[in-house]
Structure 1
């Protein structure tokens, strides 16, 4: 799950630095925009697509760390066909917010520059997952604030998260917490070895 510090960072970034003070520790996270950051990104021109795949799948800013929080929710959704989801909307929003920052170095919020240089399968799977997560992060933040009813279909994020796990596994960089041979939450017949 996303730490309180990370939630504060996401909330502050969503406020575009205006009004970011000690009160921000109780702020509701806002959706992370997919616009490109103007901050300097790491030089990826000298990295091979395989190195970039490793970074966005298993690196400290990759699916390994930023997808861990959603994985338990994902397993619960898969094992119960979504019938018994017991998670607060704000927690689900935070999990989605963390997924949107995959590939972003440090406290940055946009990792699209590095993801865009990954191998095609990894790039497409992560980009789709991030897009689905962005949409749901805002939706569940609104639900938590009482402005909407929680009626969103989670099938797109389940499908795209599965696709990202498969793409990283096929590239040889599966997250350590994901074992396709023992996972009850994913159809392992989709992963060909």
Structure 2
């Protein structure tokens, strides 16, 4: 460490250094400045409880949401919108749309990421449903997904459960059992590809 300048020498692989040089050139800055800004961002994210590996996944989630053309809607407005659905036929149609939307998301995540269930868990945590707990338990081809919230209504729970069912189906999972009540969704499923291969 150079005590007069308060700097420390850190070894970086040639591959990463070349990528940094390319990225820095694209941004019109020196490698040193680019690295300092990148590290400052990582430290700020870490202060917010987001580790470097999780930060990478969160950025992928944000990019995925952008690819889906999603927009941020305040929850209060969303709840008001759902209250406008009074007819059973309209309700069923809306639930079908939530399912199809989930299936589209699940298919995309399954094709894009190496660990789709982990990415989907992060996706649920960042969707703004005010979920207190999102847990994925895997055991020998069987999966249990648990979502818990102390604030969402029965209508919100129903819509979210349809979205999750669609997403799991899009990721090649077959729903075997479900337990849904206000603020709690528990889905047990198996991987269809594993069933076929057995």
Q: Which has the larger radius of gyration?
A: 2
TM-score by length of 1: 0.30
Q: Which has the higher strand share?
A: 2
Which of the pair has the greater relative contact order for Cα pairs under 8 Å at 6+ separation? 1
Choose between structure 1 and 2: higher helix proportion. Answer: 2
